[in-house]
Amino acid sequence: MGNCLSCFQSNTHEDTNAGASEQQPLLNGSDGYSSTVNETTNIQHDTNSNNTNNLPINDNEREAVSLLLQYLEDKDRYDFYTGGPLEALTTLSYSENINLRRSAALAFAEITEKFVRAVPKEVIEPILALLTDPRNGSDEQIKIATCAALGNFAVNDTNKKLIVSMGCLNPLVEQMLSNDVELQCNAVGCITNLATIDENKFKIAKSGALIPLIQLAKSSHTRVQRNSTGALLNMTHSVETRRELINVGAIPVLIGLLNSSDADVQYYCTTALSNIAVDEENRNRMQSTEPDLVPSLIKLMDSKASRVKCQAILALRNLASDPSYQLSIVRFGGLSHLYNLIQSGSIPVVLASVACMRNISIHPQNESLIIKSGFLEPLINLLNFKDSEEIQCHAISALRNLAAASPKTRLSFFDLGCVKECCLLANSSPESVQSEISATFAILALDEVTKLKLLRETSILEILIPMTFISNTEVSGNAAATLANLCSRLNVKVTNGEGVANEDDYDYYEKVLSAWESPQDGIVGFLQRFLTSEYLTFEHISLWTILQLADSEDERFIDLLKSNQDIINNVKRLNKQNYEITLKHNQDENQERDEEEENRYDAALELNGLSQQILEILGK
């Protein structure tokens, strides 16, 4: 009854928030999209040339050039996405003169660097026309500028949807295949921005973009690598696209780039791998095919870049949702790194490290190594880390896992102050922390030796009874299960490590008796509340506790139970109710039942048996 499985919850974490959110391309080392068009807008025309690439300018184009020059001279006064400015840009975009088309592309790139808002399709149409016009096939400058303009527009979520819906993905993918580094950079940068909303991710995956992105992630040019790995990271925020990335071979490339000399690339790759490791299927595939993954991530735990270090630890944390990875991380030397990082003083690093430790500590084969490595004291110290509920929660969860290691470890919880700290925090912490503390108490109360130490050396009953009122069923249930264990077999002689019975004249039942009616409604109140809870688990805990007290051979409790008509009546009610359920089930033996009905029948058998034993012992 005392064990709780909450440590198996939230073992993986998909990084979609602070620091690991959707990535904007870092074209020039900045934190946002910046165009790689280095030339200021220059309206070019040549009315005298006979070259087919420099055809004469039509009157309407001449007027558009004149107007656009006026608009550009005072850009802050005009809205380029409506009326005259847009008409001028559109006219030049469809011109027969390549110089004018180039000028339109450069103007779009320059304007969108400064002015971005949601725009109608009429604004995107001329840009898309410039990008797909076969006459511009050999003009890299036009394509560089148009990709830059689309990438700038794609900072806005409404525009992201519009750009994809208008068919821009295939032309962008085509530009990614260019040999021109600037064009690669801008095309990938645009894809990176488009991939920041969920409805675009799958469309991008199906557009054929993933393989070019993976190839460009291996580019010798850092800016291309950053944008490509940033785009791959953004694609890891949905289950479907994570699966697609694995299918097209992204994992070995991402792992290889963990050795990059660029911190941005390392960060994008560690975060992408961390997200991919959220899914059990993906972890299984990586376990069988990627032997370098864990050693590479452990190496990054020493990174000078704090965000890379944090993401490497979080990736290991997600991998450690599986038993095989829990062992691998320890086998490849992860414990020594975690021991230092967990005491680093940096909140993000400490949080990532203790979360990883929480998962690693689940595996029974790791418990003794973790304890020998000296983790108990640092973890106990983190219980008082009141600036972070998550750190407290992970720390007590790891300690709870380690409490299962051995009787010696459980006893050390008293010597090192863990039990004292848990008692202080039990009724003043957030529910997530309370849940783990109550589960730790439950484990200690299952041990015959530490159970008696809890009763003798702490005010554990006064701590647990108020916790049974908490609406969170994990907290109240664990507290009640601990109370039940503390009321059980208190007259049994406990042996020491050599099998010799310890002499102990302490009256443990008297300690339980002192809390019969207080604090609050006392043990008797907890029993009555759980008996009438109409929640099977709580009814079971209450009946089991009553049975332990009734079977204690301590006349004080037997008399208290016999004289409490409310308890007797409720035990009789549950006995009758669950007998009828089992009887009906047996009478309808040939009827098909679903899993829920079978579980209810099993519970009824158990509750009926407990209540029957109580009534027989009490002579009722």
170 touches 205 (CB < 8 A)? no
pLDDT at position 9 is: 36
pLDDT at position 244 is: 94
Mean predicted lDDT score pLDDT of the chain: 89
Residues linked to residue 501 through DSSP beta bridges, in sequence order: 495
Give the lowest-confidence range in 7-16, 282-291, 427-436, 462-471.
Answer: 7-16
Distance CA 480, CA 501 (A): 29
Confidence of residue 59 (pLDDT cuts 50, 70, 90): confident
pLDDT at position 494 is: 59
pLDDT at position 3 is: 33
Bin 322: left if φ > 0, else alpha if -120 < ψ < 50, else beta: beta
Give the lowest-confidence range in 10-24, 37-51, 275-289, 596-610.
Answer: 37-51
Distance CA 433, CA 425 (A): 8
The percent helix, strand, coil of the chain (3-state, each to 5) is 70, 0, 30
Distance of CA 385 to the CA centre of its chain: 21
Distance CA 15, CA 511 (A): 48
Give the lowest-confidence range in 41-45, 264-268, 297-301, 370-374.
Answer: 41-45
- Write out pLDDT tens, residues 325-357: 999 999 999 999 999 999 998 999 999 999 999
The contacts of residue 262 (CB under 8 Å, 6+ apart) are 222, 225, 226
Q: Which amino acid is residue 557, in one-letter code?
A: F
Distance CA 558, CA 564 (A): 10
Between helix 239-247 and helix 280-289 the angle, nearest 10°, is 20
115 touches 80 (CB < 8 A)? yes
pLDDT at position 28 is: 29
Specify which of 67-81, 567-581, 585-599 reaches the highest per-range mean pLDDT. 567-581
Confidence of residue 492 (pLDDT cuts 50, 70, 90): low
145 touches 126 (CB < 8 A)? no
Task: Give the homologous superfamily in CATH for domain 24-195.
Answer: Leucine-rich Repeat Variant (1.25.10.10)
- Write out pLDDT tens, residues 140-187: 999 999 999 999 999 999 999 999 999 999 999 999 999 999 999 999
217 touches 229 (CB < 8 A)? yes
The contacts of residue 196 (CB under 8 Å, 6+ apart) are 22, 23, 24, 157, 160, 234
Q: Is the dihedral of CA 325, 331, 335, 337 positive or negative?
A: negative
The contacts of residue 548 (CB under 8 Å, 6+ apart) are 484, 487, 488, 489
For residue 53, pLDDT beyond 90: no
Which one-letter DSSP state was computed for residue 231? H
SS3 501: strand
Confidence of residue 591 (pLDDT cuts 50, 70, 90): confident
- Write out pLDDT tens, residues 435-473: 999 999 999 999 999 999 999 999 999 999 999 999 999
Other beta carbons within 10 Å of 55: 19
80 touches 106 (CB < 8 A)? no
The CATH architecture to which 333-467 belongs is: Alpha Horseshoe (1.25)
pLDDT at position 504 is: 65
DSSP string, 427-469: TTS-HHHHHHHHHHHHHHHHSHHHHHHHHHHS-HHHHHHHHTT
The contacts of residue 94 (CB under 8 Å, 6+ apart) are 101, 126, 129
How large is the average pLDDT for residues 378-398? 95
**Residue whose C-alpha is closest to residue 522's, from 570, 487, 474:** 487
Q: What angle do CA 210, 173, 195 make, to 5 degrees?
A: 60
Domain boundaries, the chain: 24-195, 333-467, 487-492+505-617
Other beta carbons within 10 Å of 33: 25
